[in-house]
Amino acid sequence: MAAALCAAATGVGCSSSPSGTSDEIVVFAAASLKSPFTELGSRFETENPATTVTFNFAGSSDLVAQLVQGAPADVFASADTDNMTKAVDAGLVEGDPAAFAANTLTIVTPPGNPSGISTFADLARPGTQLVVCAPQVPCGAAAERAEDATGVTLSPVSEESSVTDVLGKITSGQADAGLVYVTDAAGAGEMVTSVPFPESANAVNHYPIALLTGSSRPQAAQDFIDLVTGPHGREVLGAAGFAVP
């Protein structure tokens, strides 16, 4: 199970779990949630030693596609409401999704900002190597809203399937600038320089989480959701830079 999910996640991390365990919940979560959810998963396992939490971190649109194709999972946490709505419309969600976090875009550059990017409009300068998320990915949809707010049309050299892929292009020096969430920029630390822009207020994403109808362990899955949406979850998410929805 865990090995298959790690492969499906296309390079983003999963937690390990004993082979063949029956006391496992599988959480499909947006790539931008990797750090806080990994911490919350460890806490959940400490509080529930008979249960293992296995994560599949990827772009929300990829996760929905996997779920629609029948991938087994207990919980889905999306980086936007649009992809959660797709899961709801497909009959995959039990009950109502709960909003638990919000995130905002920022510009990131290699350390020291060698291209001198200072505004959103600078991303459209000729010769600027810009990387963004693909439009169907929540961070890509947010970038399009930022374009609408600024009246600036971007011409990225690459559109990635998750925000972590965009960040990777910047930290590896393959691009001059990228659009990622403030939480990803914070997590990258000195590997990037962050350039905030005021129009990001028009590109805030709200994150919902939901129990899935196909869950084999609905009570344990709901307990994990309660941890995420409860006081400790808000504390961990807040420390990672997420805002209250």
Residues annotated as binding site for molybdate?
32, 60, 163, 181
C-alpha to C-alpha distance for 97 and 83, rounded to whole angstroms: 12
C-alpha count within 13 angstroms, C-beta hemisphere, residue 198: 1
Nearest to 183 by CA among 85, 102, 119: 102
- Cβ partners under 8 Å of residue 132, min gap 6: 139, 140, 143, 154, 156, 158, 159, 160, 166, 178, 179
> Any idea of the CA torsion for 87, 91, 94, 99, to the nearest 10 degrees?
30
Polymer length of the chain: 245
The answer to whether the CB of 197 falls within 8 A of the CB of 120 is: yes
The answer to whether the CB of 218 falls within 8 A of the CB of 31 is: no
C-alpha to C-alpha distance for 59 and 55, rounded to whole angstroms: 13
